[in-house]
Amino acid sequence: MIRNQEIKEVWTDEYKIPSYEVDVRGTATLPILCKFMQESAWHHAEHLGVGYSHLIEKNLIWVLSQQLIRMYFFPKWGETIQIHTWPSGKGRLSYHRDFKLLDRQNRTIGIATTIWYAIDLLSRRPQSLGFDFHLDDCEHVFSHKLNKLRSLNSTDGSKSFQVGYSDLDVNEHVNNIRYIEWILESFTLDYQKSHTLKEIEIKYLAEALYDDKLSVGFKKGENLTYYHHLVRDENHKELCRARTQWDVLNFGSDR
């Protein structure tokens, strides 16, 4: 990575789990952990000189293309966690960033890897930023590359949503975390009370816009794995694909 004493190669933030971001079990929701990771990525990008404030001057924005998150434990209400993040790779136009989530005892409770593009606001095409990191010795939280998620030919069920003002981000398209929230909302309350999310992988294909009517379809696979897609009802355009993997919740266990 960048060899400069003033540059932080790994960025670290601390976050406390608030009462209004926990689920029915009193543990942090995945969306709030994703928000924390996105905030830390924002902080580090600004520190490295490639953040929102730098890109917008060039008519560019960061867009998340794909991510894989694996959770070992979900932190509880009132607990403080650390998020560590760093650039972990680069393709021809893609930029990769990894994350570790740690509890106060320095135990890893989750890991994530993400792929980003710098998109021109007018052409909507990815652009090279003209800089590079020395990434040969950086850590990769996963030993394998992200999978190519399959499209669904049929579904076992679906749930409908409509994009509102609160779903939009600073770029006026639906925030990527909202896609995850909609996918999780497609599971019943009983299922979520008796299961815990172990892993989610999601590929973003297109933007959802204000007032769009959307459907989240799901297909059950093997070993508590589900496959999902998000589709715009008006033109049946696929906006994202995802895979979730779950464990049966053991109420007697504690980390």
Torsion sign, CA atoms 203, 206, 210, 212: negative
Q: What is the pTM of this model?
A: 0.93
Provide the β-strand partners of residue 246: 197
DSSP-based three-state secondary structure for 191: helix
Q: Do 174 and 245 fall within a single domain?
A: yes
Gap between the Cα atoms of 101 and 85, Å rounded: 9
Q: What is the pLDDT of residues 152-176, one digit of tens each?
A: 999 999 999 999 999 998 878 899 9
Question: Is 233 inside any structural domain?
Answer: yes
Q: 105, 122, 142: which is the final residue of a domain?
A: 142
Note down the domain range covering 17.
1-142
Residue 32 tokens, joined: 């709030």
Q: What is the pLDDT of residues 188-227, one digit of tens each?
A: 999 999 999 999 999 999 999 999 999 999 999 999 999 9
Q: Do 1 and 122 fall within a single domain?
A: yes
DSSP-based three-state secondary structure for 42: helix
Q: 142, 157, 188: which is the final residue of a domain?
A: 142
Q: What is the largest CA-CA distance in the chain?
A: 54
Taking alpha carbons only, the member of 226, 221, 252 closest to residue 241 is: 226
Average pLDDT by consecutive 10-residue portion of the chain (255 residues)? Answer: 68 97 96 97 94 94 96 97 95 94 97 96 90 71 88 94 94 91 96 96 95 96 96 96 94 51
DSSP-based three-state secondary structure for 146: coil
Question: Is 255 inside any structural domain?
Answer: no
